[in-house]
A and B are shown apart, each in its own frame.
Chain A
Amino acid sequence: MDPRAKLAGSFYFIAIAFLANSWPSFLFLGAVAISGVLLSKIDLRFFLKGVRPLIWLIIFTVALQMLFTRGGTIYWSWGIFSLSQYGVQNGLFIFCRFMLIIFTSTLVTLTTPPLSMSDAIESLLNPLKKIHVPVHEIALMLSIALRFVPTLMDETEKIMNAQRARGVDFGAGSIIQKIKAIVPLLIPLFVSSFNRAEELATAMEARGYRGGEGRTKYRRLKWGRNDSILVVIFAIVTVGLLFLRKT
């Protein structure tokens, strides 16, 4: 599928997740998201893994909503805390929204290679050229950054091992000691990144790079039938959602 459609689609889906404000509308969106997940044929465990790092944030916000919203039947109250009908409802809505957002964003990141993602971002940002946003430069930066992630990871690992061989103990002691142990890792890493950048810039210049003007592109995005279908589905979902919305 076209990464542009996926990226734009997921943003759109997240935006309309905020329009939902009744149980039927949430059930409807949930069904759409779940069918998307099922269609991707990716193990559900990956999605639950996506939720895990955010679990505390979710609990915190839901708890805040539940405890501080008043109105409707009050079930329980103690000082400024209260557990009310609206509160519980709002809390659950927020929980559902979180799940929807996490599921769709995990779905996009799991099904799109990072490279196509940066292509999609460049292509979607293209209209911004009109207001002098350096879209080509941003896209180039993005793709070079992505290309160097594994290289820098390797290097970090090597420097860590080299420093360990010299007796640096990573991850031990108090916070201050831990931070101090990072210094012999961070400084060489920065220095080598600067050197890398310098060499890369020389190499790019030697190969005739002189900015975005007059450049042709090797990689091409193709808008297929599936992508148009996605647009149609989203249009139907929007209409359905507006219909199920409580006014």
Chain B
Amino acid sequence: MEPIIEINQIEYSYQEDLPTALKNVSLSIEKGEWLAIVGHNGSGKSTLAKTINGLHLPQKGEVKVGGMLLSEENVWDIRKMVGMVFQNPDNQFVGATVEDDVAFGLENQGIPRDEMLIRVKDALETVKMSKFATREPARLSGGQKQRVAIAGVVALRPDIIILDEATSMLDPEGRREVIETIHQIKEESNLTVISITHDIDEAASASRILVMQKGELVQEGTPEKIFSEGPRLVSLGLDLPFPEKLKAALKVRGIQVPESYLDEEGMMNWLWTSVLKK
């Protein structure tokens, strides 16, 4: 199967005298994958996301989305395939009410009003915001605004959703809700999700993780592989998922723990079996 996104040795820098934001980045993403990109602040992960959407054109190398080579001419076609949710829920809310905002992208694409009504309603139902359709953004919580932003993307029916630190300004509760919603949408319509995140739990739910440092891809693999690196991740400036932290704390107390990465359920199973064995 042809990968939905192919990136070939792209380079990008914001200004000539600044260090390059992206250096020699290559990757390919399969359809239906959930890819997490993690890394320090300033490691170039947001820039990478914006390159996929054509918000930045790379100075070197090429970006292919859905078989199309990104260029000035087809950037709008690519944007139709790629929906983006940004970090600050306030600054991406264009409409004066919830339904207006969800409709904004549809208006841009010249979708007839009758279909807009259906799509807006569906999208709001998907994110469970139908009750709030006529609310103004000022009267919504951050998590609700972010769900509206997702609805705006869902209404456009893209093939790829990019979450550019979309949960970083939310509280843990809102964060979990947003991630659950996206998981559900992904299952329903076989979306490809690229999530750029500091949140380790969000990364742990991905099918593949990329680690970036100073504009370069330094590591790539399944969450199991990445998280089994343990302490090395901390040196890259990343947090550890909770089961790993627990393992480290047990190790300090002289308890033998398995080397391989366990998710929460795996950890729980290991704990109760080892307690029973004693």
Is A219 at the interface (CB under 8 A from chain B)? Answer: yes
Is B99 at the interface (CB under 8 A from chain A)? Answer: yes
Tell me the minimal C-beta distance from B175 to chain A in angstroms: 20
The residues of B with any CB-CB pair to A shorter than 8 Å are 50, 53, 55, 76, 79-80, 82-84, 86, 88, 90-97, 99-100, 103-113, 116-117, 120, 136-138, 152-153, 156
Chain A 137-157 interface 0/1 with B at a Cβ cutoff of 8 Å (1 = within): 000000110110011001000
Is A247 at the interface (CB under 8 A from chain B)? Answer: no
Contacts A/B (CB < 8 Å), 16 sampled: A115-B100, A150-B136, A151-B90, A200-B91, A202-B86, A203-B84, A203-B91, A204-B104, A206-B79, A206-B83, A207-B153, A207-B156, A208-B76, A208-B80, A216-B107, A218-B100
B interface SS class? helix
Complexed CA–CA distance, A220 and B156 (Å): 20
Given A208-B80, A210-B76, A218-B100, is A203 in contact with B109 using a C-beta cutoff of 8 Å? no
Chain A 176-204 interface 0/1 with B at a Cβ cutoff of 8 Å (1 = within): 00000000000000000001100110111
In A109-147, the 8 Å CB interface with B consists of 114-115, 118, 143-144, 146-147
Contact of B110 among A150, A151, A203, A216 (CB under 8 A): A216
Tell me the minimal C-beta distance from A44 to chain B in angstroms: 28
Q: Which 8 A-B pairs have the closest CB atoms?
A: A203-B92, A150-B138, A218-B103, A199-B91, A207-B105, A208-B108, A206-B84, A147-B96
Chain B contacts for A150, CB-based, 8 A: 136-138
Contact of B116 among A115, A205, A218 (CB under 8 A): A218
Judge whether A215 and B91 touch: CB under 8 Å. Answer: no
Chain A contacts for B103, CB-based, 8 A: 218
Complexed CA–CA distance, A195 and B112 (Å): 33
Known interface pairs A203-B94, A216-B111; 5 further A-B residue pairs with C-beta atoms within 8 A, sorted by A's residue number: A147-B96, A151-B137, A199-B91, A207-B79, A218-B106
Judge whether B112 and A219 touch: CB under 8 Å. Answer: no
Tell me the minimal C-beta distance from A120 to chain B in angstroms: 14
The residues of A with any CB-CB pair to B shorter than 8 Å are 114-115, 118, 143-144, 146-147, 150-151, 154, 195-196, 199-200, 202-210, 214-220
Chain B contacts for A205, CB-based, 8 A: 55, 79
Tell me the minimal C-beta distance from B98 to chain A in angstroms: 11
Complexed CA–CA distance, A214 and B76 (Å): 13
Judge whether B88 and A206 touch: CB under 8 Å. Answer: no
Judge whether B53 and A115 touch: CB under 8 Å. Answer: no
Judge whether A199 and B107 touch: CB under 8 Å. Answer: no
Chain A contacts for B104, CB-based, 8 A: 204, 207, 209, 218
Judge whether B76 and A220 touch: CB under 8 Å. Answer: no
Chain B residue at minimal CB-CB distance from A114: B96
Complexed CA–CA distance, A114 and B100 (Å): 14
Judge whether B76 and A204 touch: CB under 8 Å. Answer: no
Tell me the minimal C-beta distance from A211 to chain B in angstroms: 9
Complexed CA–CA distance, A209 and B55 (Å): 12
Judge whether B97 and A216 touch: CB under 8 Å. Answer: no
Tell me the minimal C-beta distance from B231 to chain A in angstroms: 36
Contact of B99 among A203, A214, A215, A218 (CB under 8 A): A218
Complexed CA–CA distance, A206 and B152 (Å): 11
Contact of A200 among B83, B94, B109, B111 (CB under 8 A): B94
